[in-house]
Amino acid sequence: MGPRPPVENVSVELVEVADTVVRVQAQATAIRAACPGCECWSGRIHGSYPRFPCDLPIADKRVVVSLRVRRFLCVEASCSRKTFVEQVPGLTRRFGRRTERLRWTLVSVGLALAGRAGARMSDAFGVRVSRNTLLRLITSLPDPPTATPRVVGVDEYAQRKGRIYGTVLVDVETRRPVDLLPNREADTLAAWLSEGPGIEIICRDRAVFYAEGATRGAPQALQVADRWHLWHNLGEAAEKCVFRHRACLRSTSARPEEPQQEPPPPVSSPWPTGHRFAERTRAKHATIHTLLAAGHSKRSIARQLGMGFSTVLRFAHAAEPEQLFTGQWQSRPTKLDAFKPYLDERWQEGCTNAWKLWEEIKEQGYPDGYGNVRAYVSRNLRGKPQPVGPRPPSARAVTRWILTHPEALAEGDRFQLKVVLANCPELDALAGHVRSFAHMLTQLQGHQLPAWIEAATNADLPSLQRFARLSAYT
């Protein structure tokens, strides 16, 4: 936004000052004007009319400007315009309802404070505008000239999280945004990069489409991964490693066993107490045997209860109602049976989220949906007691402890991490690799990366090995 041009070729005819308003009458005095269509100058006047552009208040008084402008005839025969209205530089513009002084003031407020805050500030000095007006004024400004960046950063941004994503391009050296692309496609990025031959380094997200677009659009540029994405991907790999050794986390929180009461003997009925079919069958069995003990015949009982004679015979011959739980009433084998031991183990480890349990067994090959897992958890696991003692730390919590600088950890977290690492050599090795990688990032010791990749590849940590192999090719 450059300096505001001075006001010329305007004659002020009258100024009236009242209690709350200042009225200014003026007239444009230019001899000729340029046609906005063909840019030819004309001095032939067709007519005139007043314009009333809004201006900034003066001493808490509203300013009313009455500016008489003229309509000129276009002298160019080939021009589509027959007449046009003159504009006063520094004061008016086409279709403008504000003076340039007021417009530039609102633009300055909008650039400094944006929408709602800018609207409140404008109202404070006597100009009431909406936040959308300020934003429209800002978007109408011409884009500032930008040179082709030497080091460009490429990452995604969310227009609607989880649904619509675009690409943001940043000049890494000046830390200023350069452009926004409407999508994350390789063709769009390649087309933008091909217009900037001066790009030497592309610091990009590690997504495949960004790699393809950078290779096609700027083959001469060196592609690198920025430190944030490297650290983020390392955190994901570390969490997977910790999750694979979650049994070690449970053993760290174990306490000496206390004498417990023996569990009640298992119920021989395949139906739990409260099942509607089981309770109905038990009630009918009790009623029939009560009537039999009172001396009623089986046919009399069938007539009284509205049941078939064969059904009454089956109930009468069954000493216990559980003997009637046969056929479709008994539980059948399901696809979940192979995963029930794992679900029982994870429940005892403290994972009580049915959705998370379903996601875990789905990765192991479970083919069905979430409903069966939820039903099994609610019917079979909700009543099981949790292990006595403190709950073991989650894999995400241990990962956060490993990724945090030791001096920044709380005393309790530092002690728990020390216990976890002492109990699991694999996690201790993982913590060593993570800290050496963090030292490389913070101290900018990139020459140590090949040695770190070799050490991480040889570690018995599959997720860390995968991250190291990907880092070698990024």
3-state secondary structure of 453: helix
Is the pLDDT at 278 greater than 80? The verdict is no
Range in 381-385, 390-394, 427-431 the model is least confident about: 381-385
Q: Pick 234 or 261 by higher pLDDT.
A: 234
Tell me: pLDDT of 377 over 90.
no
Q: Which amino acid is at 389?
A: G
Distances (CA, A) of 425 to 172, 317, 437, 457: 40, 63, 19, 17
- DSSP readout, 314-375? HHHH-SSGGGG--GGGSPPP-TTGGGHHHHHHHHHTT---HHHHHHHHHHTT--S-HHHHHH
345 contact partners, CB below 8 Å, separation of at least 6: none
Spatial contact of 151 and 198, defined as CB atoms under 8 Å apart: no
Band (pLDDT 50/70/90 cuts) for residue 327 is low
- Of the pLDDT bands very low, low, confident and very high (cuts 50, 70, 90), residue 187 is very high
Spatial separation of the C-alpha atoms in residues 451 and 221, rounded to whole Å:
25
pTM: 0.51
Q: What is the mean pLDDT of residues 172-195?
A: 89
Average confidence (pLDDT) over 140-154: 84
Instruction: Return the pLDDT at 266.
Output: 47
- Residue 205 near residue 186 (C-beta atoms within 8 A): no
Between 194 and 332, where is the model more confident? 194
Exposure string (b/e) for 303-341, b if CB count within 10 Å is 16 or more?
Answer: eeeebeeeebeebeebeebbebbeeeeeeeeeebeebee
Mean pLDDT computed over 95-122 = 89
> Residue 64 and residue 30: Cα distance in Å, rounded?
22
Provide, rounded to the nearest whole percent, the portion of the chain with pLDDT above 90.
20
What is the residue whose two structure tokens read 């880092």?
A: 471
Half-sphere exposure of 219 (CA within 13 A, CB side): 1
Work out the average pLDDT over 361-379. 87
CA neighbours within 13 Å on the CB side: how many for 175?
A: 0
Residue 322 — pLDDT band, cuts 50, 70, 90? confident
Per residue in 1-60, pLDDT tens? 555 667 888 888 899 888 888 999 999 988 889 998 888 999 899 999 999 988 888 888
pLDDT-derived band at 245, boundaries 50, 70, 90: confident
At residue 71 the predicted structure's pLDDT band, cuts being 50, 70 and 90, is very high
Question: Is-contact 297 312, C-beta < 8 A?
Answer: no
Per-residue model confidence as pLDDT tens digits over 382-392: 766 655 556 77
The per-residue pLDDT for range 282-303, each reduced to its tens digit, is: 888 999 999 999 889 999 899 8
Give me the chain's average pLDDT, please: 84
pLDDT at residue 255 in the model: 46
Q: How many CB atoms lie within 10 A of CB 262?
A: 5
Residue 262 has pLDDT above 80, yes or no: no
pLDDT at 205: 82
Q: Which of the two residues, 474 and 199, has the higher pLDDT score?
A: 199
